[in-house]
Amino acid sequence: DIQLTQSPSFLSASVGDRVTITCRASQGISSYLAWYQQKPGKAPKLLIYAASTLQSGVPSRFSGSGSGTEFTLTISSLQPEDFATYYCQQLNSYPFTFGPGTKVDIK
Amino acid sequence: EVQLVESGGGLVQPGGSLRLSCAASGFTFSSYAMSWVRQAPGKGLEWVSAISGSGGSTYYADSVKGRFTISRDNSKNTLYLQMNSLRAEDTAVYYCAKDREVATITEIDYWGQGTLVTVSS
């Protein structure tokens, strides 16, 4: 099975900050990576798919990059509604594993 | 509007069984693969199982293989997860989820509200 790691696991930031989260795969997954945002008590929300394609309706301050084994999610200017936990998911091969998550908290 | 409504969760003893259902509406159900994803209390997301639009292909996480069965009834627009030999570590909120793209298995673009399964004596 493909394992995903995320760094950092916890991030404290201020409104307006540029935030970068990294997701690493245990083996190459081409661009078969998605990013989700989850707020407490809510279902996850798709942000990015195919490593860098913005899902419809998602603000352009979110962007994704990478291929192979290393990927990043960037929030260009953190907004109050962005404080949440972020997960990556690989869709290269079954099982479609998720990363352990990165919690973005208010500094 | 896409809607996914799970039901069937509850308290069950270790070794017991439970069947989850997910009623789908707002899209052509048979055209999309569907998945189950779970989240243990205070923990991260765990992909559990997926099924193709026709129901002909199914996939499972190692942690549930041989115990859980995913199925769908396209005439009823309903997804199921039959869970047998339940363990304490299966305690989680179970989400029903729709794949983003037609006719292939991809990332998830819609999620249900989740149903809580608690395995405890």
Amino acid type, A91: L
Q: Give the tens place of pLDDT for each residue, A30-89.
A: 999 999 999 999 999 999 999 999 999 999 999 999 999 999 999 999 999 999 999 999
**CB-based contact B78:B85 (threshold 8 Å):** no
Assign residue A96 the CATH number of its domain: 2.60.40.10
Inter-chain residue contact A49 with B111, CB threshold 8 Å: no
Helix (H, G, I), strand (E, B), or coil: what is residue B66? coil
In terms of Cα–Cα distance, which of A14, A84, A12 is closest to A43?
A: A84
Which residues on chain A are in Cβ contact (under 8 Å) with B95?
43-44
What domain range includes position A16? Answer: 4-106
Average per-residue pLDDT for chain B: 96
- Tell me what pLDDT residue A100 has: 98
**CB-based contact A100:A15 (threshold 8 Å):** no
What separation, in Å, do the N-terminal and C-terminal C-alpha atoms of chain B show?
Answer: 40
Inter-chain residue contact B95 with A96, CB threshold 8 Å: no
For the ranges A44-48, A92-96, B100-104, the maximum mean pLDDT occurs at: A44-48
Inter-chain residue contact A55 with B109, CB threshold 8 Å: yes
Which residues on chain A are in Cβ contact (under 8 Å) with B37?
44, 98
For the cut 90, the answer to whether the pLDDT of residue A5 exceeds it is yes
- How far is residue A30's CA from residue B42's CA, in Å, rounded to a whole number? 31
Q: Give the tens place of pLDDT for each residue, B30-78.
A: 999 999 999 999 999 999 999 999 999 999 999 999 999 999 999 999 9
- Tell me what pLDDT residue B103 has: 77
Q: Please give the tally of structural domains in chain A.
A: 1
- Strands B3-7, B18-25: parallel, antiparallel or unpaired by DSSP? antiparallel
Report the greatest alpha carbon distance in chain A: 38
Which whole number is the average pLDDT over B15-20? Answer: 98
Of B47, B61, B111, which has the smallest distance from its Cβ to A43's Cβ?
B111
